[in-house]
Chain A
Amino acid sequence: MSEHTLLSGNEAIALGAHLSGVRVATGYPGTPSTEILEALAAGDHDETVVQWSVNEKVALEVGIGASLAGRRTLVTMKHVGVNVAADPLMTFTYMGVNAGLVLVTADDPGMHSSQNEQDNRNYARFAKIPVLEPSDSQEACDMVQAAFEISERYDTPVLLRSTTRISHSKTPVNPGDRTESRVDPGFIKDPSRTVMMPAYARGRRVAVEERSEKLRAYVEEVSDAAPSSLNRVEMRDATVGIITGGIAYQYAREALPDASIFKMGISYPLPIAAIEDFAGRVDRLYVVEELDSFWETELLAAGIAITPSSLPRVGELSADAVRAALSADTGPPTHDPAADIPVRPPVLCPGCPHRGIFYTLRRRRYTVSGDIGCYTLGALPPLESMHTCICMGASIGAALGIEKALGEEAPPTVAVIGDSTFMHSGMTGLADVFFNRGNVTTIILDNHTTAMTGHQGNPTAGYDAHLADAPRLDFESLVRGLGVQHVKRIDPYDLEHFDAVLTQCADHEGPSVIVVEGPCVLLPTADPGTIPCVSDQCVGCGACLRLGCPALRRRGTDKRAQVSINADLCTGCALCVQVCPYSAIVGEGADS
């Protein structure tokens, strides 16, 4: 297998896009999709424009423009990002493409790093477009190329659905040959196709149905026993037949190695005739699919008899889950997990500029509406000072709603949002607060990057997808432009000052914004401070431990044991120096 290299699903998607002659690639970072654009940018392909957009809607709109201009285009996002991009998607499907457009949705069954686990195969049915689902990195690479061909041949955007286990697993890839679009670049001015006002949209609506008909015929054509078929029939023992695809295919193969399989490479539309034929060749037919009963619903509607199974509908599948639901084999003997051991949830890094903000908010009776980012960890003990987290940008609107519902007697409402999230969809919320005469205090945590997904650029970061210098937007002028004149800029490591500014903003009649400016400590530009040490004055009161800093711990198991600082972890942010009521954390030089 020496010609193979191990690539993650995301790297393989990037490679497939390159091999497809992609000229424009854009998206918004979101786990597990982020590394696709990063890999494409790292490839330094001169012919390809790679850029982060401010949100998924803009990313898809940029992609639509590029496709209409006759350039093959890749647009990437996580599953919930497609909700943001759904508005352009639902009309773009009427328009069709010029050069191919592939929209990658990276779903997150099991919610490893997401707020929900929606199954985005549903978008294919909703938007009446095909969705391809690879089950390893080789297929991810190949299917991107197939998706571009389908996009151009059938005049449709194509979804490519990955999941965390595809995107973040590495499997061998042997890249194929490069293909290119046969479309000539250039924007064709044809309003009946590209101006979706009612009179033109009605015509295109009919075209969508005609296209769906052709796609249903196409998926039958690519359903057979050939190894390269997108929908592959693998006949083995005829007792059990399984319809499966994506990562679930791997689980089914492992759990029931002798079963016959109808592998769905194109998850929608379904090749009903080919599946009917497969159903007729096996004794019992199961559907093994992760999350929603998407195929099962379609197949039952087509009158195909499916054997019911007890496969879970929540969370990720596994070979064991498939084995337990479909076979008598119990798998390897297992032990019980160790009981009563401490959990290890993710935590804000030592020196994180968000820590002091939540420490201060924790001591107030305010209602804190939060948002999506590393700072969502501010909801966990011991900081515990975030009370909502819904979706990107929701903090400000939700804060306004809480305030409007409860009136002036209620505690002040505060929205907390990061710089990238504010650019993504917080700005509109803030304009709404201004327009509707809200009193919300919005805290913008400006760490100069999109931190949680691994430091991607955004309009406030000063660098782009290639890590080259980029124009930088000024928060203060932006916020003033949105109507909020009461704007304060603070240093995240000066707790006393923040405390005073927070009180002042909360008391202020009208909307206010606090821009907390402190670069992410993991950025190379971060400036380490002096490591403090704990003196004998420490009485073990634990005040500093309420910061939730991984560099601080008690020296022993005694409830009043003195605290020590781990110099390997400490960045010298000195928040602990400020919160110690006994001035016991001081000076230079570490103890450990």
Chain B
Amino acid sequence: MSRIDDILVVGVGGQGIILATDVIAEVFLRAGHDAKKSEVHGMAQRGGSVESHVRRGEEVHSPLISPGAVQVLVAMEGLEALRYAHMVSRGGIILYDPLEIPPLAVATGQSQYPEDLSERLSLYSAKVYPVPAFALASELGNTRTQNAVLIGALASLMEIPDTLWREVLSRRVPARAVDVNQEAFALGSKAIVRGS
């Protein structure tokens, strides 16, 4: 697969998606590329489905990645992975946290949470990597570091040195949470077991 330039991060409002793409975009820029990121704030942040695009290249035009052109989909929740899976390119990667956050319609019993998630995701990509980021972050005692685990996992797929990722991450998180975020990043960078 060619160099990873187009990354889509999705999840549920409040999970730290914007911070994650801030880190990725800054890493791209500091690695010497043109970089852009885009998201929508406002109403969607109230527990709704959130997507944020990050791109790099010699010259990036649209801040949005076209459907079918996402090289890595990073999903912070299972259902959201499936919702955006069609955005992934042929040969693209889906990296997702199998965490289940039931939307209201599921919680109230009017709708069902998809049960065959990994199977359905595999229809969109041959490279589907579950990363239990929320569970790992819980073990560290800080579930807010779920995004740092996923950033670590993403970084392990890319050619950019870990030191740059770690440096940018430390500058972006609150001072008191730097250490735990670094631990989370380390757990994430070892989380992908590439068998296929």
Q: Which residue of B lies closest to A347 (CB)?
A: B47
A363 at the interface (CB under 8 A from B): no
Q: Which of B30, B38, B89, B106 contacts A332 (CB 8 A)?
A: B89
Could you tell me the distance in whole angstroms from the C-beta of A293 to the nearest C-beta in chain B? 22
Residues of A1-46 whose CB lies within 8 A of B: 1-2, 4-6, 31-32
User: Do the beta carbons of A343 and B36 come within 8 Å of each other?
Assistant: no
Q: Which residues of B contact A217 (CB under 8 A)?
A: none
Q: Which of A168, A335, A554 contacts B40 (CB 8 A)?
A: A168
Q: Which residues of B contact A199 (CB under 8 A)?
A: none
Residues of A316-340 whose CB lies within 8 A of B: 318-320, 331-338
User: Do the beta carbons of B41 and A168 come within 8 Å of each other?
Assistant: yes
B61 at the interface (CB under 8 A from A): yes
Q: Which residues of B contact A164 (CB under 8 A)?
A: 40
Q: Which of A342, A343, A377 contacts B113 (CB 8 A)?
A: A342
User: Do the beta carbons of A169 and B47 come within 8 Å of each other?
Assistant: no
Given contacts A332-B89, A550-B104, contact A113 B83 (CB under 8 A): no
Q: What's the Cα separation between A289 and B105 when bound, in Å? A: 38
Please name 20 further chain A to chain B contacts, defined as beta carbons within 8 Å, in addition to the given A31-B41, A345-B48, sorted by A numbering: A6-B37, A32-B41, A168-B38, A169-B63, A170-B22, A170-B25, A170-B38, A247-B63, A318-B62, A319-B62, A320-B66, A338-B82, A341-B82, A342-B79, A342-B106, A346-B13, A346-B47, A349-B46, A349-B47, A377-B43
Q: Which of A2, A345, A452, A453 contacts B30 (CB 8 A)?
A: A2
Could you tell me the distance in whole angstroms from the C-beta of B27 to the nearest C-beta in chain A? 10
A553 at the interface (CB under 8 A from B): yes
Q: Which residue of B lies closest to A320 (CB)?
A: B66
User: Do the beta carbons of B34 and A347 come within 8 Å of each other?
Assistant: no
Could you tell me the distance in whole angstroms from the C-beta of A557 to the nearest C-beta in chain B? 6
User: Do the beta carbons of B45 and A346 come within 8 Å of each other?
Assistant: yes
Q: Which residues of A contact B (CB under 8 A)?
A: 1-2, 4-6, 31-32, 112-113, 136, 164-165, 168-172, 247, 250-251, 253-254, 318-320, 331-338, 341-349, 374, 377, 381-382, 452-454, 542, 545-546, 548, 550, 552-554, 557, 559, 561, 568
User: Do the beta carbons of A542 and B109 come within 8 Å of each other?
Assistant: yes
Contact size range, B = 35 or more
Question: What number of A-B contacts does a CB cutoff of 8 Å give?
Answer: 177
Mark interface residues in B17-55 (1 if CB within 8 Å of A CB, else 0).
000001001100110111111111111111111000000
Q: What's the Cα separation between A434 and B48 when bound, in Å? A: 39
> Interface SS of chain A: helix, strand, loop or mixed?
loop
Q: What's the Cα separation between A349 and B43 when bound, in Å? A: 12
Q: Which residues of B contact A347 (CB under 8 A)?
A: 46-48, 104
Q: Which residues of B contact A374 (CB under 8 A)?
A: 46
B190 at the interface (CB under 8 A from A): no
Could you tell me the distance in whole angstroms from the C-beta of A311 to the nearest C-beta in chain B? 15
Interchain residue pairs with CB less than 8 A apart (20): A1-B29, A6-B26, A113-B40, A168-B39, A169-B63, A247-B63, A320-B67, A331-B68, A334-B68, A335-B123, A335-B124, A338-B83, A342-B103, A342-B111, A344-B83, A349-B46, A377-B43, A545-B108, A550-B47, A552-B107
B156 at the interface (CB under 8 A from A): no
Q: Which of B35, B67, B102 contacts A553 (CB 8 A)?
A: B102
Q: What's the Cα separation between A136 and B112 when bound, in Å? A: 41
Q: Which residues of B contact A247 (CB under 8 A)?
A: 63
Q: Which residues of A contact B109 (CB under 8 A)?
A: 542, 545, 554, 557, 559, 561
B192 at the interface (CB under 8 A from A): no
Q: Which residues of B contact A333 (CB under 8 A)?
A: 68, 90
Given contacts A112-B43, A346-B13, A568-B143, contact A250 B107 (CB under 8 A): no
| 10 nearest A-B residue pairs (beta carbon) | A113-B42, A31-B42, A346-B48, A553-B107, A332-B68, A334-B68, A346-B46, A169-B63, A254-B61, A169-B38
Q: What's the Cα separation between A225 and B14 when bound, in Å? A: 45
Q: Which residues of A contact B114 (CB under 8 A)?
A: 338, 341
Q: Which residue of B lies closest to A337 (CB)?
A: B86
Could you tell me the distance in whole angstroms from the C-beta of A279 to the nearest C-beta in chain B? 24
User: Do the beta carbons of B103 and A332 come within 8 Å of each other?
Assistant: no
Residues of B67-117 whose CB lies within 8 A of A: 67-69, 79-80, 82-83, 85-86, 88-90, 102-109, 111-114
Q: What's the Cα separation between A452 and B102 when bound, in Å? A: 23
Q: What's the Cα separation between A136 and B40 when bound, in Å? A: 16
User: Do the beta carbons of A251 and B79 come within 8 Å of each other?
Assistant: no
B184 at the interface (CB under 8 A from A): no
Q: What's the Cα separation between A561 and B62 when bound, in Å? A: 47
B150 at the interface (CB under 8 A from A): no
Given contacts A170-B37, A338-B85, A342-B113, contact A32 B66 (CB under 8 A): no
Q: Which of A113, A335, A342 contacts B44 (CB 8 A)?
A: A113
Q: What's the Cα separation between A4 and B111 when bound, in Å? A: 47
Q: Which residues of A contact B61 (CB under 8 A)?
A: 250-251, 253-254, 319
Q: Which residue of B lies closest to A249 (CB)?
A: B61
Q: Which residue of A lies closest to B143 (CB)?
A: A568
Q: Which residues of A contact B48 (CB under 8 A)?
A: 344-347
User: Do the beta carbons of A112 and B40 come within 8 Å of each other?
Assistant: yes
Q: Which residues of B contact A454 (CB under 8 A)?
A: 41
Given contacts A1-B34, A554-B109, contact A334 B86 (CB under 8 A): yes
Q: Which residues of A contact B79 (CB under 8 A)?
A: 341-342, 344
Could you tell me the distance in whole angstroms from the C-beta of B100 to the nearest C-beta in chain A? 10
